[in-house]
């Protein structure tokens, strides 16, 4: 079981360090892998604060080239040098606001894996696509550009459930995860308004292998509670 916290554009270095020290001192279940994904500017503070622990630090994005004229981007070798373990790629906000496509997600994913990073690759449908009965087709299209790898995890995030307070029912999430696993037999996380109150029920679904947590990962107690509730034991 993997629980990953995506902080998005929250917490500068000072806040990140304080959070990580608090998380480091919190009892977390041994059978749950825990990672956090701070903004770029806070990665170093997080790595330093979590040194010597089992909690991993991920970036929120990674470019497909190792270096070059790509203003505003960061490469896998740069992240490795910081001590970062992995990266998220293809989050719906990257697709929605920054022109990310299935093809660029695949490029970023491949480069990160080849660069020695673990990867959480995000997929998910919009509300319009779900209402049109296109969820399976969208997921199959988004997943089909990726290649199986021991260091790759998929995150299913129904876009209509991100930051809205709406959550896919456990049955809806289970069905989507089954579709994804039919294309790539890899662990699949659920993301979309995961909270301490719904984590246990979601994580109990057989095809759900963890969660990618947004807003609820910004508070130590809330994030720790999700980790506890995700524990199979």
C-alpha dihedral sign at 22, 25, 28, 31: positive
171 backbone dihedrals φ, ψ, rounded to 5°: -70, -40
* Rounded CA separation 43/60 (Å): 10
Catalytic residue among 93, 100, 125, 157: 157
Q: Which of 91, 93, 100, 177 is catalytic?
A: 91
CB atoms within 10 A of CB 46: 28
| Distance in angstroms (rounded) separating the CA atoms of residues 194 and 215 | 8
The phi, psi pair for 67, rounded to 5°, reads: -165, 170
Catalytic, 129? Answer no
Distance between CA atoms of residues 92 and 129, nearest Å: 14
| 197 counts as catalytic | no
Q: Give the residue among 2, 24, 15, 64 at the shortest CA–CA distance from 218.
A: 15
Catalytic residues: 91, 157
């Amino acid at each position: 079981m993997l629980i990953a916290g995506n902080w998005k554009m929250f917490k500068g270095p000072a806040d990140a360090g304080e959070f990580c020290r608090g998380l480091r001192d919190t009892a977390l279940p041994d059978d749950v892998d825990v990672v956090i994904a701070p903004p770029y500017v806070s990665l170093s503070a997080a790595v330093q604060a979590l040194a010597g622990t089992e909690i991993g630090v991920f970036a929120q994005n990674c470019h497909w080239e190792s270096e070059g004229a790509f203003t505003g981007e960061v490469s896998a070798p740069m992240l490795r040098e910081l001590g970062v373990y992995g990266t998220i790629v293809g989050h719906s906000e990257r697709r929605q606001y920054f022109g990310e496509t299935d093809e660029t997600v695949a490029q970023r994913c491949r480069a990160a894996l080849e660069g020695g990073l673990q990867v959480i690759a995000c997929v998910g449908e919009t509300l319009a696509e779900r209402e049109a009965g296109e969820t399976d087709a969208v997921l199959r299209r988004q997943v089909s550009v990726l290649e199986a790898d021991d260091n790759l995890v998929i995150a299913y995030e129904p876009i209509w459930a991100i930051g809205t307070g709406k959550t896919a029912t456990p049955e809806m999430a289970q069905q989507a995860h089954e579709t994804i696993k039919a294309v790539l037999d890899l662990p699949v996380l659920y993301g979309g308004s995961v909270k301490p109150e719904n984590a246990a029920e979601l994580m109990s679904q057989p095809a759900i292998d963890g969660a990618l947590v947004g807003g609820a990962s910004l508070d130590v107690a809330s994030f720790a509670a999700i980790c506890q509730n995700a524990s199979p034991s």
